[in-house]
Chains A and B, each alone.
Chain A
Amino acid sequence: MAEKKIRIMVAKPGLDGHDRGARILARCFRDAGFEVIYTGCHQTPEQIAAAAIQEDVDIVGLSCLSGAHRYLFPRVVEILKEKGAADITVIGGGIIPDQDFPSLYDAGIKAIFTPGAPLDTIVQWVRTNVQPRNE
């Protein structure tokens, strides 16, 4: 039986259009052999959570460069929980000041990658920490 691939959703919550990092990561995950869904910009947390469930993804990668991550990232985790999809891993990246890390981890964000993180490091983190669900 063919090995099940990791399904990852790269998502841009909020109004921020800085999507260079998100698009590079989408390509990089695709090249790494993952199944990639990219939402495009300007998604609400509600839209992202609904799409993640509908697409049956294993992990959601959120990207935000506007400073609104403090509200948007935890909100995505919260909605996933409410909808019984707490097993979907959520990670985040963008311009995230160090002092915001603890509260994001507390809110259930499993990893945070900021500018300068090598693509390979991010891919390895996903491989190590995420198993395809629904075997």
Chain B
Amino acid sequence: MTMYFTKNTLNQSKELSDKWEEEVRQTVARTPDQKARCSTVSDLEIKRLYTPEDIEKTDFARDIGAPGEFPFLRGNQATGYRGRYWTFRMFSGMGSAFDTNARWHMLLKEGNAGLSTAFDFPTLMGYDSDSPKARGECGRCGVAIDTLDDFRTLMEGIPMDRVTTSMTINPPATALWAMYCAAAESKGASLAQIGGTIQNDMLKEFIAQKTFMCPPEPSVRLISDTVEFGTKHVPNWNTISISGYHIREAGSTAIQELAFTLRDGIEYVEDVIRRKGLDVDEFAPRLSFFFNAHIDFFEEICKMRAARRIWARVMRDRFHAKNPRSWWMRFHTQTAGCSLTAQQPYNNVVRTAVEALAAVLGGTQSLHTNSLDEVLCLPSDHAVEIALRTQQILAEETGVANTIDPLAGSYFVESLTNKMEEEAWAYIEKIDAMGGMVSAIEKGFPQLEIADAAYRFQQQIDAGEKTMVGVNKYASSAKQEIPVQDINPQVEEEQIARLSAVKRRRDSRAVKRDLDELKSACKTGKNVMPFCIQAVKELATVQEICDVYREVFGEYRDPGLY
């Protein structure tokens, strides 16, 4: 055991702390504190001062260590950001595949290193643009994709063998990934060459984001199919991005985000091992994660540091992974949409910069910075550029990337990191005791924990206990007007016209045959991916593939917990 401080230092610290406490008592008697209690945005109480005593049980080698070494508290890479910065990965998608392709070319030209796709709600939910359920939604929150034809338009001029692309897609992940694979192959990029990510994390959909289609059990099975297919055929693809982002946006605390996300990760690993018989080290290195960077600076940094350490311990000690790459938690981060305000929108630039700084100090591998107008509409070109420049300023002007994990060793930061890890373990054990995450979701446990936290925060805002500048404090009557990007209402009509043209010209017998084969793969437990690729090549639509899943696996209905 190599304790962090000697006995002597701890004794000195104790003595000085006692003196300091007396001083504080006297001062507060004269000038009371502004607030009776200080807490993070998640309502975690924070002390006035942290000292060596707060981390006296920390063992240097066991708990802190070096970058690139277990438990990876200080990062996965031995070289930190000196080897390469985090990936500037701006999430974008709007209107038609043509519109989004144009935005992507702009982003790549301006120094964005990787692409990240926002789909519209019909695509996200597995409906085609001509479905009655899609009315009014086409192209609004992202790009509308119905068939491989649209997908090829989306990727026009993008070097798919070099640029990695992330796709925020969940229930229809198999269909969209199949389109990506088919589009790459038709451009001469082999499956072994392409790299990217599909979000493909259904558990957090039931917990928080509510983009669901089939019930939890078959949803997890489809994910295991993709993990297996990726492991065998698309080795540079991250087949899942286990996401805390949406859990947090739904109103969870930072600890809930951390705990539920990691417990989701455990559930997926268990399922792949059980269902596919893969060895953990065969697929664990391709698991990736996605966190929120909220406004409470230190809480976020500590959450990310704790996340790496917990995952390393889970993989080594729970799953007995032997490959150090399996111990790595690689994650993307997005600044917190829910921290932005429609009131005084220019303030959002500042919030996003602080959140992005937290993500960098927390050691993220990839980052999306929100645009100032995202609270009102899809971001305009100008707002996106400011958001991207924010990352470039952090990386190349501020010097924060010069040294690795610069906050390590801070009494406060190490103590808060420890606290978050302890509380996350308590949640993980509780969910283990419930029989795992699927069973916890069926009981409504994570949903209601988050609902409690979200309601508590709203009450604190309404009571003025927590501040949102421009909303419940420093509100101004003068309105800051910003240009609002709108989606051309023609998009829906044009997309439906394109879809019906594709439906007329394709070989509908081949489509039917491929969908029937997919259906039988669903029933017999064969991996669905080769069947999806075959079907999309014949121009089967996203909805046609998802309808097969709905028919075989059934539909999940929102239990409407609140």
Please list the residues of chain A having a beta carbon within 8 angstroms of any beta carbon in chain B. Answer: 14-20, 22-24, 26-28, 38-42, 44, 66-72, 95, 97, 99, 114-116, 118-120
Contact = CB atoms under 8 A, between A and B. Distances in A.
B249 A20 contact: yes
A72 B135 CA distance: 8
A23 B558 CA distance: 12
Given A67-B487, A68-B136, A17 B210 contact: yes
Contacts of B557: 40
B273 interface: no
Given A24-B455, A39-B560, A14 B375 contact: no
B135 A119 contact: no
Contact of A115 (B137, B341, B558): B341
5 pairs of A and B residues whose beta carbons are closest in the complex: A17-B210, A71-B136, A40-B560, A40-B558, A15-B121
B158 interface: no
Interface string B322-343: 0000000000000000100111
16 contacts: A14-B136, A15-B122, A16-B137, A17-B212, A20-B250, A24-B454, A40-B560, A41-B558, A66-B137, A67-B140, A68-B137, A95-B342, A95-B376, A115-B341, A116-B341, A118-B472
A24 B458 contact: yes
Contacts of A72: 136
A54 B135 CA distance: 25
A92 to B, nearest CB: 14
Contacts of B113: none
A15 B251 contact: no
Interface in B97-142: 121-122, 124-125, 127, 132-137, 140-141
B559 interface: yes
B249 A14 contact: no
B210 A23 contact: no
Contact of B136 (A24, A27, A70): A70
A23 B377 contact: no
Interface in B334-386: 338, 341-343, 375-377
Interface in B303-321: none
Which of A15, A38, A99: most chain B CB closer than 10 A? A15
A45 B141 CA distance: 19
Contacts of A28: 455, 458
B462 interface: yes
Which of under 10, 10 to 19, 20 to 34, or 35 or more describes the interface residues of B?
35 or more
A27 B121 contact: no
Which of A41, A44, A69, A70: most chain B CB closer than 10 A? A41
A40 B559 contact: yes
Contacts of A115: 341-342, 375
Interface in B132-175: 132-137, 140-141
A20 B251 contact: yes
B400 interface: no
A24 B133 CA distance: 26
Contacts of B249: 18, 20
Contacts of B560: 38-41
Interface in B181-219: 205, 209-212
Which of B122, B343, B471, B562: most chain A CB closer than 10 A? B562
Nearest to B377: A97
A64 to B, nearest CB: 9
Nearest to B246: A17
Interface string B455-468: 10011001000001
Contacts of A116: 341-343, 468, 471-472
B41 interface: no
A44 B135 CA distance: 10
Contacts of A95: 342, 375-377
Which of A18, A95, A120: most chain B CB closer than 10 A? A18
B127 A15 contact: yes
Contacts of A24: 251, 451, 454-455, 458, 562
Interface string B537-562: 00000000000000000000111111
B210 A27 contact: no
